[in-house]
Structure 1
Amino acid sequence: MASEITYAEVKFKNESNSLRTYSESPAASREKPIHHLSKPGTLMLLFISLMILLLLLAITFLVAFITYFQKYSQVLEEKIAKKNIIPSELNCVKDVSMMEVWSCCPKDWKPFGSYCYLIPTDTSSASWNMSEEKCSDKGAHLVVIHSKEEQDFITGTLRRNAAYFIGLWDTGHGQWRWVDQTPYNESATFWHQNEPNNDDEKCVMINYRYNIGWGWNDIRCSDKQNSICQMKKIHL
């Protein structure tokens, strides 16, 4: 009787072990295919992402190239047009300091250094503000003088019996300023003796004094005088 019980127990244990092994084996078999199938999907996703990135880079490069080519073509056309056509309204000479470049001033303007100067030939006069506005309409400004050579060139073309506004004015309390915002250098000024002499006179003209010569004189901005316009040379 004891042997039958022992046999039953052994048999039960064997059956339980076999059941455990059977129950575990399907899970293992299911996990393995899932694990192996995930690799091709990941590689495909990486490949697609890489291709999209390369496509975006190619499109960006193409757009940049087209934009650059258009701008380069426009600049090239402008250069060719400028070299082949010299407008009749300009007086031009070849600039020896720059190859293949024309240095030009508008008709009736006088060249000196890097600038062109419009010296009035009539007796028309206007206030300082109106004179500056007239110069601005021509793409210029009232003359700015920074050297004795420039002053001598300008005064060599002026009438001694006339006075001319220049682009210098007092912003307040003797703070003189040029219209082109260049610094006011007291060591390069050409005031007549005892000038400037009046706080109410905020603008400056250049005039000739007998036995003294040309110089600067402060004057009321509302007074009417002739004027000299100045602009940078045009390069073609």
Structure 2
Amino acid sequence: MVQEGQSQEKAVWWFQVKIWSVAVISIALLSVCFILSCVETYHFTHGKNDKRLSELRTHHASLTCFNEGTRVTEKVWGCCPSTWKPFGSSCYLISNEENSWSKSEQNCVGMGAHLVVINTKVEQNFIVQQLNKSLSYFLGLSDPQKNDNWQWVDQTSYMENVRLWHHGEPNFPGEDCASVVFWNPRGWGWNDVFCDSKRSSICEMKKVFL
């Protein structure tokens, strides 16, 4: 009887050892997978940032970085070209040089950016603080098919995005590009204008986060 009891205890003990061994091995494998995933994500993210930084340095002499708070235990810095204005996740450049819409967009692209895409009223409120009330500024919004199908240059959905037209605008066939302009007493809003008219412009690019 004693020997039989010892055999049962030994069998139970081996069963527990097997269970714990499986659990330990499973946890170890999961840990390895997690670590590899983190390393891969790190290299992917930082690889993209390094590429973006390299691209920006081909167009801009220097960058300015701002402390954007912390992410877990790692500091996060948002970087813009030194002459650009930072806001949210983007950098902005106000140009008073007057060009057509296509030339203005070309100039922005040449700096690694595009004509500004306004996504919120808060974003516009920040931008217009930098503008001259006597000037009109091209936005990255146009109607290239001339059929009232307005499109943003970065493929942001026009219908799902904020629309801040002046009352009654857009209102004139042939005026297929958008600008932001100050009208007294209405304040700042969007107006449809001829694409080949000469206006100032606003460029936008995404910040690089480090």
Superposed pair shares fold, TM > 0.5: yes
For 1:100, what is the secondary structure of its paired residue?
strand
Aligned counterpart, 1:146: 119
Q: What is the Cα deviation at residue 186 of structure 1?
A: 6.3
Output aligned runs, 1:87-166, within 5 Å: 89-98=62-71, 99-120=74-95, 123-166=96-139
For 2:99, what is the secondary structure of its paired residue?
coil
Output aligned runs, 1:158-197, within 5 Å: 158-170=131-143, 171-185=145-159, 188-197=162-171
Higher helix share: 1
Superimposed CA distance per residue, residues 59-97 of structure 1 (whole angstroms, 9 cap, x where no aligned partner): xxxxxxxxxxxxx8xx59x78xx7xxxx87111022214
Q: Whose Rg is larger?
A: 1
Gaps of 5+ in 2: 1-39, 51-56
Q: What is the Cα deviation at residue 187 of structure 1?
A: 6.7
- Identity %, equivalent residues: 45
Gaps of 5+ in 1: 1-71
Superimposed CA distance per residue, residues 87-136 of structure 1 (whole angstroms, 9 cap, x where no aligned partner): 8711102221432332111111111111011112xx42000000000000
Q: Which amino acid aligns with 1:159?
A: N
The two structures have a TM-score, normalised by structure 1, of 0.61
Q: Which amino acid aligns with 1:117?
A: Y
Aligned counterpart, 1:211: 185
For 2:179, what is the secondary structure of its paired residue?
strand
Q: Which runs of 4+ in 1 moved over 6 A?
A: none
Output aligned runs, 1:21-32, within 5 Å: none
Among 189, 194, 206, the residue aligned to 1:232: 206
Q: Which has the higher contact order (CA 8 A, sep 6+)?
A: 2
The two structures have a TM-score, normalised by structure 2, of 0.68
* Distance 1:199-1:186 versus aligned 2 partners, 3 A rule: farther
